[in-house]
C-alpha cells in the first residue's frame, strides 16, 4: 500500500492526557481478580458463545512483575516524542451501527490509515532510532509477510539505514512491491513465516545486521503503546479498549500506557480462534506454542506469544477472547459497508468481538483497527465469505427434469422472490444422474437470512428438491 495522505475525519472530542488523568497519573493498577474483571463487563463468567467465540481471563499476576516494571509509561511517552512528525495521530471515528448494538458509544481507532497502512511504523521506527551508529552502519533485517516488512522498510529509509526484508515466497505481490518502494531489499524465502524468520536470523548472524523483531522487544512495545496515549487524549471517557492480538506487541503497549494512567479502563484482546496461542499460554502461565495456526487474519497469525509482551499481557490485559472466521469476515464487510473503511482481517478482529457479544462490553468502547493492508484477491474471497456468513450469498444445488425450458422455469421462480442469480452451472452428463435428469448449481445474492429461507421455501413449493 502506498504511503497515502490521511482522509479528513472528525475526531472524537478530547482533552489533554494529563488533565484527563491527573489524579491517576503514575499510579499502577492493583492486582485484578477474575471475578472483578467479569464484573466490569457486566456478564459474570465468560463462556464460549455458540458462534465459536471464547474468552479467557489473564492470570492477574499484578503490575509489579518484572517485565512491567522494566517498561513504563515514561518509555511510551519518550517513544511518542521520537515519533513526532513521523507517525500520524490517526482519527477516532464513531460507529452508529456498533453503538446501537453495544448500547453505548463505540469509536474506531483508524490505524489502517497510518503510514504504511498499519500501526507497525510506530514500533519499527522507535526500535531503529535507538540503534547505535555502529549498529546503523551494519543495517537492519526483518522477516514478515506484510505489515512489519513495510514498517521496517519505511522506518529504516527515514533514518538512513540500509534494510533487508525477508518475505515468504507466497507473500501478496502488492505487499512485496510496497516494501520495495519504501526502500528495502526484499528477499523471498520459505513457504511459511517460520522459515522466513530463520532465514532472516541466519542473514543477521552472517552479516552483523540488526534483527528487528516484529513484537518481542521493549522498544517495539513502547512504540506501539503510543496508540494507547492517543486513545486517552481523543476519548478520555473511554471505558473499554478492544485490540487484536498476534504476538502481543500492540496490546501490551496499549495496556502498559493505559493502565498506568487509567487503571479503570478495561483492555480486551482478541485472537482468531484458529491461531489463538494466548488463551493456553495464559492458562499455563508461560508462552505456549500451537501447531499450524490457521486463519485468514495473517496479521495475527502467530503460533507463540512473545516473551516480553506475554508478561505484560498477563499483568495488565483484563481478558483475551477468540473469534471465528465467519465473525472476522462479517466484521470486515461491516467496516467496508458501514464505516467506509478498508480493513484487513486482523484489523477487523476487535469489531468481530463486538459483533459476537455486544452486550458484554461497557462503553464508551474504542476498537483498534490495526491495519488495512489486504490483498485484493483475498479481499474478494473474504467479502464473498462475509456475505455468506451474513446470509446475503446463497449457494444451492438441485435436480430438475432435462427438458426444454426447465432452466427458464427455475429462474422464473427465483425472479419472483427477488433473488439475484450470480452464477449458474448446468450439468447433464454426471453418471449419478438419471437419463432425464439435469443438475443445477446456483450462486445467488440474497438480502439476509430471512430472504434465504424465503428462497428455499419458494423452490420447495414449486416442486424442487434442494440438495445442498
With contact defined as beta carbons under 8 Å apart, do 344 and 92 qualify? no
On whether the CB atoms of residues 275 and 37 are closer than 8 A, the answer is: no
Burial of 77 (0-12, 13-18, 19+ CB in 10 A): middle
Angle, alpha carbons 269-130-203 (nearest 5°): 85
Contact (Cβ atoms closer than 8 angstroms) between residue 282 and residue 314: yes
Catalytic residue among 53, 144, 330, 370: 370
Q: Which three cell numbers stand for residue 446?
A: 440474497
Q: In sequence order, what are the residues at sequence separation of 6 or more whose Cβ sits closer than 8 angstroms to the Cβ of residue 28?
A: 63, 64, 68, 259, 260, 263
Q: Give the number of other Cβ atoms within 10 Å of residue 115's Cβ.
A: 24
Q: Among this protein's residues, is 370 annotated catalytic? A: yes
84 tagged catalytic: no
Cell of 459: 423452490
Nearest in space to 55 (alpha carbons), one of 73, 43, 70: 43
In angstroms, rounded to a whole number, what is the distance separating the alpha carbons of residues 83 and 80?
A: 5
Q: CA-to-CA distance for 114 and 336, rounded, in angstroms?
A: 17
Q: How far is CA 124 from the centre of its chain?
A: 18
Q: How far apart are CA 93 and CA 364, in angstroms?
A: 12
139 HSE (CA, 13 A, CB side) = 18
What phi, psi does 440 have (nearest 5°)? -125, 130
Helices 307-316 and 249-261 pack at an angle, to 10 degrees, of 40
Name the active-site residue from 109, 120, 175, 259: 120
- Under a CB-based contact definition with an 8 Å cutoff, are residues 223 and 164 in contact? no
Grid cell, residue 203, equals 542473514
Q: Which residues are catalytic?
A: 120, 370
Amino acid at each position: 500500500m502506498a504511503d497515502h495522505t490521511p482522509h479528513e475525519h472528525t475526531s472524537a472530542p478530547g482533552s489533554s492526557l494529563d488533565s484527563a488523568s491527573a489524579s491517576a497519573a503514575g499510579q499502577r493498577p492493583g492486582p485484578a481478580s477474575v471475578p472483578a474483571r467479569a464484573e466490569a463487563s457486566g456478564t459474570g463468567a465468560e463462556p464460549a458463545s455458540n458462534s465459536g467465540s471464547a474468552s479467557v481471563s489473564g492470570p492477574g499476576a499484578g503490575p509489579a512483575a518484572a517485565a512491567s516494571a522494566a517498561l513504563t509509561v515514561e518509555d511510551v511517552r519518550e517513544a511518542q516524542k521520537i515519533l513526532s512528525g513521523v507517525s500520524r495521530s490517526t482519527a477516532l471515528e464513531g460507529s452508529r451501527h456498533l453503538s446501537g448494538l453495544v448500547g453505548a458509544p463505540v469509536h474506531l481507532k483508524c490505524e489502517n490509515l497510518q503510514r504504511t497502512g498499519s500501526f507497525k511504523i510506530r514500533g519499527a521506527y522507535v526500535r531503529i532510532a535507538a540503534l547505535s551508529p555502529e549498529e546503523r552502519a551494519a543495517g537492519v533485517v526483518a522477516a514478515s509477510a506484510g505489515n512489519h516488512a513495510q514498517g521496517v522498510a519505511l522506518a529504516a529509509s527515514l533514518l538512513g539505514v540500509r534494510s533487508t526484508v525477508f518475505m515468504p515466497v507466497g507473500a501478496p505481490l502488492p505487499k512485496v512491491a510496497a516494501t520495495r518502494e519504501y526502500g528495502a531489499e526484499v528477499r523471498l524465502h520459505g513457504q511459511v513465516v517460520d522459515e522466513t524468520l530463520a532465514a532472516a536470523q541466519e542473514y543477521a548472524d552472517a552479516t552483523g545486521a540488526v534483527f528487528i523483531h516484529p513484537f518481542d522487544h521493549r522498544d517495539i512495545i513502547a512504540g506501539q503503546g503510543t496508540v494507547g496515549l492517543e486513545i486517552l487524549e481523543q476519548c478520555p471517557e473511554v471505558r473499554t479498549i478492544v485490540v487484536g492480538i498476534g504476538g502481543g506487541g500492540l496490546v501490551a503497549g496499549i495496556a502498559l500506557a493505559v493502565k498506568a494512567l487509567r487503571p479503570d479502563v478495561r483492555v480486551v484482546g482478541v485472537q482468531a480462534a484458529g491461531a489463538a496461542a494466548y488463551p493456553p499460554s495464559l492458562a499455563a502461565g508461560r508462552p505456549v506454542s500451537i501447531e499450524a495456526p490457521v486463519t485468514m487474519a495473517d496479521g495475527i497469525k502467530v503460533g507463540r506469544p512473545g516473551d516480553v509482551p506475554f508478561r505484560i499481557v498477563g499483568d495488565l490485559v483484563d481478558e483475551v477472547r477468540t473469534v471465528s472466521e465467519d465473525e472476522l469476515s462479517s466484521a470486515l464487510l461491516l467496516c467496508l459497508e458501514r464505516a467506509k473503511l478498508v480493513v484487513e482481517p486482523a484489523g477487523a478482529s476487535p469489531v468481530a468481538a463486538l459483533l459476537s457479544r455486544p452486550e458484554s462490553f461497557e462503553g464508551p468502547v474504542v476498537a483498534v483497527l490495526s491495519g488495512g493492508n489486504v490483498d485484493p484477491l483475498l479481499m474478494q474471497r473474504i467479502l464473498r465469505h462475509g456475505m455468506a456468513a451474513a446470509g446475503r450469498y446463497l449457494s444451492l444445488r438441485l435436480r430438475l427434469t432435462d427438458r426444454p425450458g426447465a432452466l427458464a422455469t427455475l429462474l422464473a421462480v427465483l425472479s419472483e422472490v427477488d433473488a439475484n442469480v450470480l452464477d449458474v452451472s448446468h450439468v447433464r452428463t454426471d453418471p449419478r444422474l438419471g437419463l432425464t435428469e439435469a443438475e443445477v448449481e446456483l450462486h445467488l445474492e440474497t438480502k439476509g437470512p430471512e430472504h434465504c429461507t424465503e428462497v428455499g421455501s419458494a423452490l420447495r413449493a414449486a416442486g424442487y428438491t434442494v440438495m445442498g
